Homo-oligomer: A and B are copies of this chain.
């Protein structure tokens, strides 16, 4: 699959609209991130993906770019365990399953999840976001090309 001019233009537009200059590195990463279905990536995983590309991007730039995208509202950062953070291309409000064995993150489908019984936030503060992580164990059923973007956490 070769690079399509289409998605390059789309990436440029997306970056402009987010107030970010469409630099080579940002376009490269934006195309990876936003071309297909929603993804959960780690900085290291995304960096590994683009190592094969013609012109490189350093890991530091991947980090900085992911944070810039996050600040611009294009991504959402998720921290699930002591390993690397995930960046989610789905920025709408939703929650996650975390598969402890594989270290994979899966969206909780639908948007019916709600929290009840929550006491007021500490005095002087207001709630900015509620993150729910449903940690699950057990090997998930095989399903096509599951790509473990992350080294599974060591067991025992």
Contact = CB atoms under 8 A, between A and B. Distances in A.
A139 to B, nearest CB: 6
A97 B125 CA distance: 10
Q: How many copies does the complex hold?
A: 2
For A112, A122, A128, A141, which residue has the most chain B Cβ atoms within 10 angstroms? A122
A117 B114 contact: yes
Chain A interface residue number, banded? 35 or more
A137 B123 CA distance: 11
Given A97-B125, A108-B118, 18 more contacts: A77-B82, A79-B80, A79-B82, A109-B119, A110-B117, A112-B117, A123-B140, A123-B141, A124-B138, A124-B141, A125-B140, A127-B135, A128-B135, A128-B136, A128-B137, A130-B132, A130-B135, A132-B132
Contact of A122 (B85, B106, B119): B106
